Amino acid sequence: MSRKYLYPILIIVVTIVLYYAEKYVDRETEDYPNTSKENDDFSSSEFDDIFLPTSTTGAIITHAYYTLSYAESHEQAEWVAYELSEKHLSKNDIERPYFVEDRQVKSKSADWRNYKRSGYDRGHLCPAGDRRFTYDAYHETFLTSNISPQNHEFNAGVWNSLEQKVRFWAGKYQGVYVVTGGILRKGLPSIGDERVSVPEEFYKIVMDASDGNYKAIAFLIPNKRTNKSFYDYVTTIDAIEEKTGIDFFPKISESLETHLESRIDLKAWGKR
């Protein structure tokens, strides 16, 4: 074979090898967070078991610092649930890690490269800002099972403001419990080779159970730029359950569940 043909063939072969190396090798070589529940005093407590929602997929993954239900057909979690206690509130400056696939998802969570040049942020469901108390906790939020495509103005705007408010409530009420996710349904637009669904709305439900005095607040916000306050998107938990098919608090008493999920009480959360 003449050099005229040999060099182009070598270039093609090297290009193919490099493409697949970038796509798959990092799964084995990149640092992976410690997801053992026994790794420190900050890991999830029995609080999780009391307030975990139902799963419409049956793919519940329990990590050290949050629990999720993975929806393979949408390549993201249908919900992420976690406790945010006072001791979790930290402003530690931790180096931002790479996004890595979640090895506990049997069907494999979506590769982060689906988001490249998509026009959407890799939006955290359990915010990295809620998990700055240890490196492992922070790193765990960068599993791709914990991200969803978010409009940048939404992610950096109203959604970020709501996340900061939740941290404020965690300090004020000695801890809260959070459930969050996108509204997943058939027919959503998607991004990347793995067709990661782009939710049109995201929800966040916050529960305070301090001193046995339960209260809850829920938000349903469009995945787009807005100048409105997150308070303008308060809704009932019942409304989110109707859209998702998820029962968010199946283990509490039926009377308490009905009371919390059917009403809006902004005053209970300091909104006058």
Cα(44)–Cα(37) distance, rounded to whole angstroms?
7
Burial of 70 (0-12, 13-18, 19+ CB in 10 A): buried
175 three-class SS? coil
Q: What is the mean pLDDT of residues 5-13?
A: 60
**pLDDT tens by residue, 76-92:** 999 999 999 989 998 88
pLDDT confidence of residue 43:
57
Provide the edge-to-edge strand list for the sheet that holds 176-182.
60-62, 67-71, 76-84, 176-182, 201-208, 215-222, 234-235
**Full-model pTM:** 0.86
Overall residue count recorded for the chain in this entry: 272
pLDDT confidence of residue 33:
73
Cα(93)–Cα(18) distance, rounded to whole angstroms?
34
Q: Which amino acid is at 91?
A: K
The domain 33-269 having CATH identifier 3.40.570.10: the answer here is yes
Question: What value does the mean pLDDT of the chain take?
Answer: 88
Q: What is the mean pLDDT of residues 242-270?
A: 93
CB count in 10 Å sphere of residue 126:
26
pLDDT range class, residue 160, cuts 50, 70, 90: very high
Structure tokens at 222: 């469009």
Are 128 and 139 a contacting pair, CB within 8 Å? no
Burial of 146 (0-12, 13-18, 19+ CB in 10 A): buried
What is the percent of the chain with per-residue pLDDT over 90, rounded to a whole number?
74
Place of tokens 């019942």: 238
Structure tokens at 226: 């807005």
pLDDT range class, residue 14, cuts 50, 70, 90: low
Closest alpha carbon to 59 in 73, 39, 38 = 73
**pLDDT tens by residue, 38-59:** 555 655 554 557 889 999 999 9
In degrees rounded to 5, what are phi and psi of residue 82? -165, 155
pLDDT confidence of residue 3:
56
143 three-class SS? strand
Is the model's pLDDT at 25 over the cut of 50? no
Structure tokens at 111: 């590769």
